Amino acid sequence: MNHTSRYTGLIEKYRDRLPVKKETRLISLGEGATPLIRLQNIPRTLGKQVELYVKYEGLNPTGSFKDRGMTMAVTKAVEDDSRAIICASTGNTSAAAAAYAARAGIACFVVIPDGKIAQGKLAQAMIHGAVVIQIQGNFDAGMALVKQVADEAPVTIVNSINPYRLQGQKTAAFEIIEDLGVAPDFHCLPVGNAGNITAHWIGYCEYSSASGKNVTAACTFCQGQCAFANGAVSKSRPKMVGYQAAGAAPFLRGAMVDNPETVATAIRIGHPQSWDQAWKVKEESGGWFAECTDDEILTAQKLLAEKEGVFCEPASATSLAGALRDIKTGRIPEASRVVCTLTGHGLKDPDTAIKQSTGPLHKVRAELGAVKKVIFDNMPR
Ligand code: F0G
């Protein structure tokens, strides 16, 4: 990145690696450049030596990794003169689509499962002015409908079957390599449609095939600052590990799941759209799929919030829940460098967070004595 200029989003930063032209109007909200936070307190309790990081994608403009894909998908939709976009969503895609459509000045239609999306996500689609279509069916039914309707109406699909989505999302892998100087040994992600795990693998592969060559010239915008400019960086790629919620784990069953159920509503998906690609990612990277129960997911969400100060939504905690288990059992060996993607912000789903917070809420009179008592009763000893 050119450090003399303001950061204006991932397309501008990685424009040499993305399908945009000089004259393309970029639809951006400053997405990307999210922090890679090294966990300090949780690893200490594991009794294992690992370098464990979380990539906090909840800090994107609409609070999830979807913004990386949406900036690309909406930029291309506008370039192709589309006047409307559409998606099926468990909530985050619709939030991002609604925001980027608002920014672009085009219409947005979102098809969501009735009653099964977190409150914050519904609020986002509504406030950005999307036309919200709640169906009496789940995400998979919505996705099937969106594909059909796009054949009959002039709307551009911005789900991850839109290849520009994955192009935008691959940039998270670039950022991780830039931050660490090398690729991690393991990259753990929650898996729903499996678009994101596929996008990360594209990013790591592009990077590893570019490094070692003289790519400095090819990467003009960054002026030597981005991952591609540094030919000396390791050519390694991580093992990609995909974690699913046990009630919505088609990759573990080896077949589609018709009635997916999980507290992690973002990944309540039984018919993943990137099925073939994700199996290829697993094979090529030497990684694996595993499943986490709802209890494990919520425990990891809470652990992260209480011990590290990082608040992610339940689906996001699936990556950490799985990684912690695989570190404990040794499947992820000691001395590994591990990155877990936290796909969405915890504020997306306040209801679940409040429900599982056991800390007491003290209702007292507005008097000094009453407040002081609570403080002294609860001081650490
Ligand atoms: N985590 C969160 C918070 C998500 O919202 C999603 C997907 C995933 C993980 C899984 O990513 O589908 O690429 O494997 N959410 C989509 C949506 C389905 O509609 O917001 P994936």
Distance 88 CA to ligand 1 centre (A): 11
- The beta strand positions in 89-238, using DSSP E, are 107-113, 131-135, 156-157, 186-190
- pLDDT, position 358: 82
Atom of ligand 1 nearest to the CA of 169: 13
- pLDDT, position 207: 86
The DSSP output letter for 26 is: P
Q: β-strands 156-157, 36-38: how paired?
A: unpaired
- pLDDT, position 8: 96
The DSSP output letter for 58 is: G
- If one residue of 262, 343, 352 were mutated to test the ligand 1 pocket, choosing by the most ligand atoms within 8 A of its CB, it would be 343
Atom of ligand 1 nearest to the CA of 90: 19
Atom of ligand 1 nearest to the CA of 87: 19
Shortest-distance Cα residue to atom 15 of ligand 1: 266
Shortest-distance Cα residue to atom 10 of ligand 1: 192
Distance 192 CA to ligand 1 centre (A): 6
C-alpha distance from residue 173 to each of 14, 16, 180, 226, 232 (Å): 12, 15, 11, 12, 17
Atom of ligand 1 nearest to the CA of 160: 13
Atom of ligand 1 nearest to the CA of 191: 14
- pLDDT, position 360: 85
The DSSP output letter for 345 is: B
Evaluate if pTM is beyond 0.85: yes
Distance 177 CA to ligand 1 centre (A): 23
- pLDDT, position 211: 52
Distance 267 CA to ligand 1 centre (A): 6
Closest CA to 71 of 61, 83, 81: 61
- pLDDT, position 212: 45
- pLDDT, position 220: 37
What's the token pair of residue 10?
A: 């991932």
Torsion of CA 10, 205, 191, 161, to 10 degrees: 70
Atom of ligand 1 nearest to the CA of 273: 12
The DSSP output letter for 25 is: P
Measured CA to CA, the distance from residue 274 to residue 217 in angstroms comes to 34
Atom of ligand 1 nearest to the CA of 242: 14
- pLDDT, position 26: 98
Distance 242 CA to ligand 1 centre (A): 12
Measured CA to CA, the distance from residue 135 to residue 119 in angstroms comes to 16
- pLDDT, position 213: 46
Residue ranges for the chain with pLDDT beneath 70: 1-4, 211-235
Say what percent of the chain tops pLDDT 70. Answer: 92
* Pocket, ligand 1, Cβ cutoff 6 A: 64, 66, 89-93, 160, 190-196, 266-267, 269, 313, 315-316, 343-344
- If one residue of 92, 157, 189, 244 were mutated to test the ligand 1 pocket, choosing by the most ligand atoms within 8 A of its CB, it would be 92
CA terminus-to-terminus distance, the chain: 48
Distance 251 CA to ligand 1 centre (A): 15
Tokens 């990539």 identify what position? 55
CA within 13 Å, CB half, 289: 21
Distance 235 CA to ligand 1 centre (A): 29
- pLDDT, position 208: 83
Distance 237 CA to ligand 1 centre (A): 23
- pLDDT, position 236: 85
- The beta strand positions in 176-308, using DSSP E, are 186-190, 239-245, 288-292
Mean pLDDT of the chain: 93
**Phi/psi of residue 111, each to 5°?**
-110, 115
Measured CA to CA, the distance from residue 361 to residue 316 in angstroms comes to 26
